[in-house]
Chain A
Amino acid sequence: MTDAALPLRGQQTAEEILEPSPFSKLRKRIFKNHSFLIGALVLIVIIAMALLAPVFEALGWIHDPYEQELSSRLMNPFWHEAKVSEEHLLGTDKVGRDYLSRLIYGAQISLLIGFSTMLISGFIGTVLGVTAGYFGGRVDMVVNFIINTRLAMPVFLVAMAAVVAFGASLLVVILVLGLFLWDRFAVVMRSITMQARDLDYVKAARAMGCSTPYIIVREIFPNVIGSLTVVATVEMANAILLEAALSFLGFGVQAPTPSWGLMLNEGREYMFFSPWMLALPGTCLFMLVLAINLFGDGLRDVTLERER
């Protein structure tokens, strides 16, 4: 077994990543079997807010997230007693930009980064994993080596270095994260393709003389798609957290873009007097990631049970 000769990521195997976790049953009980629904619902609400942000703005419900209003700087959110404004429900930042509008537009940035990163890394990881799993042997050894090398690189540090080298922008952050976060995809795809390769109907297709690309696309791929979506949710959450951390340190999306990580960075100097400036964007981030995780976990139960 080549798996054993070169274990990946210490102990974490594809089975562990995809395992219907012992927790998932409990999670079902806690959320009364509705963890998937709750996750999906929160996710839909966040996505809808992000997509409809320009509509809300046109209707006058929220402000322009870039509009600075120096006469109403550092307003407090509605639950405070002093310095509140009916215009700005969740207050304003140091240059008088409406916090609520920036939070809503911030969802766009997080979702955009999470989604695009997931597409890029998913593509790289799937190609590598399926190739390694299908062909095995030397090809597998080489891919394993690539995966292990990638795992040895401290992602956060190298991502920061890449941002310094190529300049900080939304595109650079997406590309850098996309080029780094494919490892889990590759590990899972490799292992599942390996199992699928020996299924009877795949053998039959081979015996009928179908071409390799045909077999991979038509016979193997439908088998891996369920696991692929599960890993995709995990990586999307991961990318969103990493972008926030990068932007927080000033190595990600640049001002004045309304990114939650960047808002945390800007709010840091007011943390002693206006802690809500940190609490709000962080809560949004937490909610989004939690929703994606719950959704992914529910998906895992639904799709993997059907596959078995």
Chain B
Amino acid sequence: MLAYTLKRSFVAFLILIVVSGLTFSLSHLSADPALTIGGEQASDEDIEAIRILYGFDRPIYEQYFSWLGRALQGDFGESYHYKAPVVEMISGRIGTTMTLGVLAILFALIISIPLGTLAAMRPNSIIDRFALLIAVFGQALPTFWFALMMIIVFGVWWRWLPISGNTTWAHFVMPTIALGYYATPALMRLTRAGMIEVLGSDYIRTARAKGLSPTVVLFKHALRNAIIPVVALAAVWFGFMLGGSIVIETIFNLKGLGWLSYDALLRSDLPVVQAIVLIFASFYVVLTLLADLLNAWLDPRISVR
């Protein structure tokens, strides 16, 4: 198990290095950042001075290693546009995105686990069909359009919820639903499949034969086992959701990391974009690693090659 943990962690670290390298070269290959910083009025001499000041005249790999070295120490440089340290800009906004992400994944779990369980208990029942309908729609519904439609109905027509900003809890309701709904089909499918498998297993029959109440069998014996892979998958989905937060945060004007990356991209503010890509990728890699380790711990066969 230790060897497996170390190996997986090393691979995860390598992945992050490659991702950072790709992002860095992508953003430096095309547009000349000196032109972005100088603005339209800058003369050729100004541009040249900026190039030397920021080190754009050095070979790209040198720039990358110095950026990576500083990034590992928590220094992501300075925003081209706001002239503020990127770390400060990010730390002020990461809380909003994390709140949204956690709420969204909780929303998805609160919908998908009960529905998936009920569907598994009574296959082909009305509830099962309802769960199916939600899944089919969830897969085809464009998240951003769903968000816009919610704004029109709940924000404009009925005026139940605020449509922009992040000052109160009410501001998070629609973004949470829009983002969380997206993860529901996958989680519900896994809950349903897992529950059907577990409910048909020998130890559940034994528990029933012992005369345990159906509630105890369901919650203490079945759900407990079926739910673990669902939680592991939810961790991975949390990583995906951070990426999805860009559209949702932009639509609802929730000023988190997603909104910040949109704003930074509009201004070609590369240091900010690079930092956010790296943060999102790190979250994904760490969460997948934890999910894998959780599974390996539950099923020791996995860690033995």
Q: Which residues of A contact B (CB under 8 A)?
A: 1-2, 4-7, 9-12, 21-23, 26-27, 29-30, 145, 148-149, 151-158, 160-162, 164-166, 237, 241, 244-245, 248-249, 251, 264, 268, 271-272, 275, 278-279, 282, 285-286, 289-290, 293-294
Contact assessment for B305 and A293 in the assembled complex, using a CB-CB cutoff below 8 Å: no
- Known contacts A6-B8, A158-B26; 12 additional CB pairs below 8 A are A7-B302, A9-B236, A11-B229, A29-B124, A30-B132, A148-B15, A157-B280, A164-B265, A165-B30, A271-B148, A271-B151, A294-B136
**Which of A10, A155, A158 gathers most chain B CB within 10 Å?**
A10
Contact assessment for B302 and A241 in the assembled complex, using a CB-CB cutoff below 8 Å: no
Q: Is B96's beta carbon under 8 Å from chain A?
A: no
Which of B58-66, B138-146, B172-180, B204-212 lies on the face that meets chain A? B138-146
Contact assessment for A11 and B27 in the assembled complex, using a CB-CB cutoff below 8 Å: no
Which residue of the partner chain B has the closest CB to A30? Answer: B129
Contact assessment for B276 and A282 in the assembled complex, using a CB-CB cutoff below 8 Å: no
CB contact between B140 and one of A21, A158, A286 (< 8 Å): that residue: A286
Given A30-B132, A164-B268, A271-B148, A153 and B281 touching (CB < 8 A)? yes
Q: List 15 A-B contacts (CB under 8 A).
A: A2-B305, A4-B301, A9-B288, A10-B235, A12-B233, A151-B288, A152-B284, A156-B244, A161-B277, A165-B27, A166-B30, A278-B145, A285-B142, A289-B139, A293-B140
Rounded to whole angstroms, the CA-CA distance of A289 and B143 in the bound complex is 12
Cβ < 8 Å to A, chain B residues 286-305: 288, 291-292, 295, 301-303, 305
Distance between A157 CB and nearest chain B CB, rounded to angstroms: 6
Contact assessment for A152 and B15 in the assembled complex, using a CB-CB cutoff below 8 Å: yes
Given A149-B15, A152-B281, A249 and B262 touching (CB < 8 A)? yes
Distance between A287 CB and nearest chain B CB, rounded to angstroms: 8
Q: B50 — which chain A residues lie within 8 A by C-beta? A: none
Distance between A307 CB and nearest chain B CB, rounded to angstroms: 21
Distance between A247 CB and nearest chain B CB, rounded to angstroms: 10
Contact assessment for A275 and B152 in the assembled complex, using a CB-CB cutoff below 8 Å: yes
Quick one: CB contact mask for B72-91 with A, threshold 8 Å, 1 for yes? Answer: 00000000000000000000
Distance between A29 CB and nearest chain B CB, rounded to angstroms: 7
Distance between B295 CB and nearest chain A CB, rounded to angstroms: 7
Contact assessment for B265 and A251 in the assembled complex, using a CB-CB cutoff below 8 Å: yes
Contact assessment for A11 and B7 in the assembled complex, using a CB-CB cutoff below 8 Å: no
Contact assessment for A145 and B284 in the assembled complex, using a CB-CB cutoff below 8 Å: no
Cβ < 8 Å to A, chain B residues 237-254: 242-244, 246-247, 250
Distance between A51 CB and nearest chain B CB, rounded to angstroms: 22
Q: A23 — which chain B residues lie within 8 A by C-beta? A: 132, 135-136, 189
Distance between A165 CB and nearest chain B CB, rounded to angstroms: 4
Contact assessment for A157 and B142 in the assembled complex, using a CB-CB cutoff below 8 Å: no
Given A26-B129, A154-B243, A160 and B265 touching (CB < 8 A)? yes
Q: B137 — which chain A residues lie within 8 A by C-beta? A: 290
Q: Is B255's beta carbon under 8 Å from chain A?
A: no
CB contact between A268 and one of B148, B247, B277 (< 8 Å): that residue: B148
Q: B144 — which chain A residues lie within 8 A by C-beta? A: 244-245, 248, 264
Contact assessment for B149 and A22 in the assembled complex, using a CB-CB cutoff below 8 Å: no
Rounded to whole angstroms, the CA-CA distance of A6 and B250 in the bound complex is 35
Q: Is B29's beta carbon under 8 Å from chain A?
A: yes
Rounded to whole angstroms, the CA-CA distance of A111 and B20 in the bound complex is 33
Given A157-B243, A157-B261, A11 and B277 touching (CB < 8 A)? no
Which residue of the partner chain A has the closest CB to B137? Answer: A290
Which residue of the partner chain A has the closest CB to B14? Answer: A145
Contact assessment for B142 and A282 in the assembled complex, using a CB-CB cutoff below 8 Å: yes
Contact assessment for A165 and B232 in the assembled complex, using a CB-CB cutoff below 8 Å: no
